[in-house]
């Protein structure tokens, strides 16, 4: 069973940047994509970005497109989420997830997730 450990969260002022990391350990053979989700207090968890482990194709939520970038280092079994031009509304707990995606571009659907990380807090102040 794969385990996912996120790191890199913290507090930043609006307009700043953070990079989240998600290190995977164990077998990832049941997953072909990695995803980032976030959940703010009182809101539903939403998909932020996803990437196919092999081909590297990506998908983004409209709210983060052109500001966030997901990438992977397969040699290190690590996925990254570079977050730029952060806004207060980006504040949330960010979760890394592994899943089985289909389609040309990887999905952001929670129903495809088979493993979740524990989450890391991101706080953006105005």
Give pLDDT tens digits for 87-111. 999 999 999 999 999 888 999 999 9
Alpha-carbon gap, residue 55 to 43, rounded angstroms: 32
Closest among 118, 47, 48 to 83, alpha carbons compared: 48
Residue-averaged pLDDT of the chain: 95
**Who contacts 1 (Cβ-Cβ below 8 Å, separation ≥6)?**
26, 27, 115
| DSSP summary character for residue 30 | T
| Mean predicted confidence (pLDDT) in 78-84 | 98
Q: Could you tell me the two tokens for 70?
A: 């997901």
Beta bridge partners of 115: 98
- Is there a contact between 12 and 18 (Cβ–Cβ < 8 Å)? yes
Give the percent of the chain with pLDDT over 70: 100
Beta bridge partners of 96: 36
Name the 3-class secondary structure at 69.
strand
Where on the phi/psi map is residue 19: left (φ > 0), alpha (ψ -120 to 50), or beta? Answer: beta
Is 27 a residue whose pLDDT tops 80? no
CA 77 to chain centre: 14
Is 28 a residue whose pLDDT tops 80? no
- Is there a contact between 32 and 53 (Cβ–Cβ < 8 Å)? yes
Give the percent of the chain with pLDDT over 90: 88
Is 64 a residue whose pLDDT tops 80? yes
Is 33 a residue whose pLDDT tops 80? yes
């Amino acid at each position: 069973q794969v385990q996912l450990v996120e790191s890199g969260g913290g507090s930043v002022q609006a307009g700043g940047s953070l990079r989240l990391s998600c290190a995977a350990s164990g077998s990832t053979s049941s997953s072909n994509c990695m995803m980032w989700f976030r959940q703010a207090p009182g809101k539903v968890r939403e998909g932020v970005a996803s990437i196919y482990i092999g081909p590297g194709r990506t998908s983004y939520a409209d709210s983060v497109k052109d500001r966030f970038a997901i990438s992977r280092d397969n040699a290190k079994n690590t996925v990254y989420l570079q977050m730029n031009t952060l806004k207060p509304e980006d504040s949330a707990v960010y979760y890394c997830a592994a899943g089985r995606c289909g389609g040309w571009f990887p999905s952001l659907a929670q129903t495809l997730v088979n493993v979740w990380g524990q989450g890391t807090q991101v706080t953006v102040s105005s």
